[in-house]
Amino acid sequence: MPITKCHVENNSYIKTGMSPEEYCQIWVPVLYNTLPEQRGYKARCIEELAKVTGFTEQSIKNWGADFKGHPDYVKVMLKQANIINEFRQLFKKHFVDGT
């Protein structure tokens, strides 16, 4: 398959990545019904990051309180997970919920 402008633009979009904080701010409230200011948010964030990256929860805790110690490629993984979650939400909205 030839590479098109769309492929290049999408690849660039994904390569910009998404920080663990950004990912958690978007998806922990949606997936776990827990807001950043609520008790348990950080634990749910770590749980979700472990789920989508394949790292252990302890490894993610070792990144530090603000997750700044994460490997660079994690940002790309989180951007990909974000896109997948967006598609899941759209599918759910249009095909499961019947709206």
pLDDT, tens digit only, all 99 positions of the chain: 555 555 445 566 667 899 999 999 999 999 999 999 999 999 999 999 999 999 999 999 999 999 999 999 999 999 999 999 999 999 988 887 665
The span from the first CA to the last CA of the chain, in angstroms, equals 35
Alpha-carbon distance of 74 to 52, in angstroms, equals 10
Distances in Å between the Cα of 83 and the Cα atoms of 80, 90, 94 are 5, 11, 17
Q: What is the pTM of this model?
A: 0.82
pLDDT of 96 reads: 76
